[in-house]
Amino acid sequence: MADIIDPRHEQLMEHLFKRTCIVLGMHGFEMRPLRRRVRGVGKLRSYALGYTKLNEKLVTIDLYTPRTMKTRKIDAILRVICHELAHHQEPPRVMRVGFKLVRMIHHPHFWVQVKKNVEIIKKDELLAEYFVA
């Protein structure tokens, strides 16, 4: 298991995150890589690739695989960035299901926004090269 974190990969992802924010028109956001306490040890039940706080402009993204500490694909990280920024574009909604009020974080309008964000990024000349299969 590699315990060494690649600073070049983190710098590249920081640059691509800023570019993504500029392309999507969302300024003032900050990216932070997700740091786990002990990588690759014990049961890894958390599949969270990233999270954001709605009241702050902070996005935390897991840049490495949990068990082997390999870097994730750049297009997968860019899709996670689109997902997390869509939480700020389409905030959670309170919907009525039967007689209950339910707070839906991933509602249908949210997923439409995620797809729009990915399509906008695919059209950018700098970010499009990472989506080529």
CATH code, domain carrying 34 = 3.30.2010.10
Q: Kindly state the average pLDDT of the residues 10-30.
A: 95
C-alpha closest to that of 53 among 23, 77, 79, 32: 32
The count of domains in the chain is 1
Tell me, yes or no, whether 2 lies in a domain. Answer: no
Expressed as residue numbers, the domain containing 36 is 7-130
Q: What is the pLDDT of residues 93-120, one digit of tens each?
A: 998 989 999 999 999 999 999 999 999 9
Whether the CB-CB separation of 52 and 87 falls below 8 Å is answered with yes
Q: What is the pLDDT of residues 50-82, one digit of tens each?
A: 999 888 999 999 888 877 778 889 999 999 999
Three-class SS of residue 33? strand
Tell me the percentage of the chain whose pLDDT exceeds 90: 65
CA-CA distance, 61 to 34, in Å (whole number)?
5
The predicted model scores a pTM of: 0.87
Tell me, yes or no, whether 11 lies in a domain. Answer: yes
In the structure encoding, which two tokens stand for residue 85, read together?
Answer: 């920024």
Tell me, yes or no, whether 77 lies in a domain. Answer: yes
Tell me, yes or no, whether 108 lies in a domain. Answer: yes
pLDDT at 114: 96
Name the pLDDT band for 133 (thresholds 50, 70, 90).
Answer: low
